[in-house]
Amino acid sequence: MMKSSVEEKLKNTLPKDIAEGLEQALNYLPGGKTAKIEKPESEGLFNHILFITIAGDRYVFRARRDVSTEAGDAYMQYMYEATGFIQNGGSFKLRNIADEVDFLQRALAAGLPVPKLIHATEDWMLIEYVTGKTLCEFLEAGEVKFLPKILQEMNLAHRQGIIYADRWGGNEMIDDEGNVRMIDFDIEWFYQGGNDGTLEALEMAWTIFNAMRVTSRRDDLLKIVEIEVLPAIKAWGYDIAKMKKFIEGLCNFYLDPNKPSNAWSLPNSLYISMPEPANRLVAMFAEAN
Ligand SMILES: Nc1ncnc2c1ncn2[C@@H]1O[C@H](COP(=O)(O)OP(=O)(O)O)[C@@H](O)[C@H]1O
Ligand SMILES: [Mg+2]
């Protein structure tokens, strides 16, 4: 009785269907009745994420939030338009859990570093808990050295025709052994122009731009982009001209004071120092082309 009070409180804050899904997940796991349930430090707009600990083993419960995601949609639509992706025949959508599970299984079959799937229904999934921190956390703390490793891992996926999408730093992790692990595949990207490298260029551009955006050490990061990243992505055959356009578009979006924003977008004050490094980043890609 006493022991479950924290869990009871947490469950009471969850929507009914999510609490039911969690209950099913706990019933599925041996010892589930004794589980300790925690929320992550940061949660996005689209998912309920819960960490489940049973006798030292951890799992992640994941289900979609029941938001008619208008605010998120408007923000994302505006952002993707700013890159020129939409006007050129690109689009994106929020996957349902079943579609995300399909993606996860495809990525696992390709040997990519995504969480193992433990169990899933139409409405929720249980996945492996990944140790470590997100790339975003490292970048904010001034640790910029992991970017090339992340991009290399993306290239491995691209060679197998797999686009992770929405890699902005918060969905890429570095585990305790220093290995890259990718999480969160709720967004899918499409391109009607076929398989011409556009999605791959967008994915690389997205990651590089956001690394510049979030890090507390922009000079150090730009140096790494110039010396390590640009030569690598050229050698791998990415479309540098496309990447330059996407990065430019993202710069314009983030520096636009009139962009739609809401509680989960970052404060304007963070962007005051961005125009100069943003221009340098664009110039690098212009020259490399
Ligand atoms: N499998 C996992 N292992 C460890 N931590 C995770 C895992 N999945 C999510 N998290 C943590 O929870 C946060 C939010 O999860 P995420 O899957 O990115 O969903 P969303 O961004 O929609 O909230 C992540 O940034 C990460 O810190
Ligand atoms: Mg995420």
Asked if pLDDT for residue 2 goes beyond 60, the answer is no
Least confident of 77-81, 143-147, 269-273: 269-273
DSSP code of residue 34: G
What is the average pLDDT across 34-57?
93
Q: Which numbered ligand comes closest to the C-alpha of 166?
A: 2
Asked if pLDDT for residue 1 goes beyond 50, the answer is no
Asked if pLDDT for residue 5 goes beyond 80, the answer is no
> Average pLDDT of the chain?
92
Residues with CB under 6 A from ligand 1: 40, 42-44, 46-47, 49, 60, 115, 127-130, 134, 170-171, 183-184, 186
C-alpha to C-alpha distances, 62 to 59, 96, 113, nearest whole angstrom:
10, 11, 18
Q: Which numbered ligand comes closest to the C-alpha of 181?
A: 1
- The predicted pLDDT at position 8 comes to 73
Distance CA 61, CA 52 (A): 7
C-alpha to C-alpha distances, 105 to 27, 111, 170, 182, nearest whole angstrom:
23, 10, 21, 13
Contact 101, 117 (CB under 8 A): yes
- The predicted pLDDT at position 4 comes to 54
Least confident of 2-11, 40-49, 124-133: 2-11
pLDDT digits over 236-288, tens only? 999 999 999 999 999 988 887 777 764 455 566 656 788 899 999 999 999 99
Q: Ligand 1: which atom is nearest the Cα of residue 184?
A: 17
* Closest-CA residue to 46 (of 61, 77, 67): 67
**288 Cα: distance to centroid of ligand 2 (angstroms):** 31
- The predicted pLDDT at position 176 comes to 96
